């Protein structure tokens, strides 16, 4: 966490293999992410990472359930199986009956829950979330966080979340402060 | 938390024994700090003395819980006034945090580090309250939220102050 412009999102993008850092090393599962070729990083992102952004960023031409199935389809899972796996998330996240809606027909909270399902559907090892509640009101934001934490704990996904809101950070087990592009007290682990 | 007014409010639902009042107070308002029986009965005696409650009947036997208390018009009016009037907003202008930061700067100590330590302590407490909120009932959640929003306000102040320590140092150490 940290104020706007402190470098939180840049750090997240480096950790997730989207950006390559100017200096330093990014290690994931013993491998140097920063030293990988773009194709290698791309398959890492597709197969082992999940993503949720501030404004859901659902594909507007696709239905909600197709949006959730997207990561599975991209990794070569058959369409029927991908859609049925994606469909299972709707009840879990309180989205029953919204499977066929397009993103324009969803409220902010609904769209963000769909985005959350899309981030978790492929059971990634790490979910990267950049201000996932930033565009939501407090109550809706907390509901999304509650679902995120429960789902991630259930399937053993590590969540790396960027936020400037302390109440959202309080859902995490550990905080890393970023200020003026520098990480502050990175090793402080929650008791 | 005003114990006399809360007990009066609980009595406005229905005439009750001291034991019932203590049980409901602990369930909704006590939150890990139960009301001692002694305080329940001393408070009820004072309320009776001041004409805000009366004792309706005394069951045979011994012990303090033979009495049932009823709220009077005076008591009900007081509850009504308490509920309808806003609580005095407390700006906490002179907090301990403020004093520590200013003194640290005056004494040329690392005020920024103190703020960092305080931020960690606040975040730790916020994590605990968030767990309470996730695991508990709606009553627990709303109480935890009240704490969380206040801690968040402190944290915002900590951030703002941390960003202006240099300017503040000049002002307190001319």
CATH architecture of B3-84: Orthogonal Bundle (1.10)
Q: Are B153 and B97 within 8 A, CB to CB?
A: no
pLDDT at A155 over 60: yes
The single residue listed with the structure tokens 């006034």 is B81
Q: How confident is the model at residue A190 (pLDDT cuts 50, 70, 90)?
A: very low
Report chain B's mean pLDDT, rounded to a whole number. 88
What per-residue confidence (pLDDT) applies to B31? 77
- Residue spans of the domains in chain B: they are 3-84, 96-172
| H-helix segments, A99-179 | 108-120, 138-155, 166-169
Q: Please say if the pLDDT value at position A189 is more than 70.
A: no
Distances (CA, A) of B97 to A124, A188, B164, B169: 42, 22, 15, 15
Chain B residues lying within 8 Å of A167, measured CB to CB: 126, 130, 148-149, 152
pLDDT tens digits, one per residue of A130-152: 999 988 888 888 888 999 999 89
pLDDT at A50: 94
B112 touches chain A (CB under 8 A): no
Average pLDDT of chain A, as a whole number:
90
Contact B124 A190 (CB under 8 A): yes
| Contact status of B132 with chain A (Cβ, < 8 Å) | no
pTM of the model: 0.77
Contacts of A172 in chain B (CB under 8 A): 127
A103/B81 Cα distance (integer angstroms): 49
**Can you list the domains of chain A with their CATH numbers?**
8-184 (3.40.50.300)
A127 three-state secondary structure: strand
Q: Which residues of chain B have pLDDT under 50?
A: none
* Distance (Å) from the alpha carbon of A190 to chain B's nearest alpha carbon: 7
Which of A13-17, A30-34, A65-69, B55-59 is the least confident region? Answer: B55-59
Question: How many residues comprise chain A?
Answer: 191
Residue of higher predicted confidence among A183 and A101? A101
């Amino acid at each position: 966490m940290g104020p706007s412009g402190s470098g939180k999102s840049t750090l997240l993008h480096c950790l997730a293999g989207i950006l390559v850092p100017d200096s330093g090393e990014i290690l994931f599962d013993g491998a140097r992410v920063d030293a990988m070729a773009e194709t290698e990083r791309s398959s890492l992102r597709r197969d082992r990472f999940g993503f949720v952004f501030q404004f859901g960023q659902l594909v507007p031409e696709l239905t909600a359930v197709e949006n959730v199935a997207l990561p599975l389809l991209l990794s070569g899972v058959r369409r029927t199986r991908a859609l049925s796996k994606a469909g299972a998330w709707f009840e879990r996240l309180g989205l029953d009956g919204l499977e066929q809606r397009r993103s324009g027909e969803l409220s902010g909270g609904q769209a963000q829950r769909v985005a959350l399902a899309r981030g978790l559907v492929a059971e990634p090892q790490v979910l990267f979330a950049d201000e996932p509640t930033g565009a939501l009101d407090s109550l809706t934001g907390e509901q999304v966080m509650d679902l995120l934490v429960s789902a991630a704990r259930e399937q053993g996904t590590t969540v790396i979340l960027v936020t400037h809101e302390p109440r959202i950070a309080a859902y995490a087990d550990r905080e890393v402060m970023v200020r003026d592009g520098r990480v502050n007290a990175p090793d402080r682990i929650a008791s | 938390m005003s114990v006399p007014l809360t007990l009066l409010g609980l009595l406005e639902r229905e005439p009750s024994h001291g034991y019932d009042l203590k049980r409901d107070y602990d369930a909704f308002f006590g939150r890990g700090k139960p009301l001692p029986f002694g305080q329940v009965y001393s408070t009820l005696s004072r309320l009776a003395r001041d004409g805000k409650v009366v004792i309706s009947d005394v069951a045979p036997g011994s012990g303090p819980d033979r009495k049932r208390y009823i709220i009077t018009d005076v008591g009900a009016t007081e509850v009504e006034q308490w509920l309808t009037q806003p609580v005095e907003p407390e700006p906490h202008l002179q907090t301990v945090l403020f004093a520590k930061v200013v003194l640290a700067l005056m004494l040329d100590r690392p005020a920024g580090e103190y703020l960092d330590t305080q931020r960690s302590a606040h975040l730790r407490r916020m994590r605990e309250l968030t767990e309470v909120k996730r695991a508990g009932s709606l009553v627990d959640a709303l109480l935890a939220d009240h704490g969380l929003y206040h801690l968040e306000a402190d944290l915002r102040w900590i951030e703002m102050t941390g960003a202006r320590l240099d300017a503040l140092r000049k002002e307190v150490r001319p």
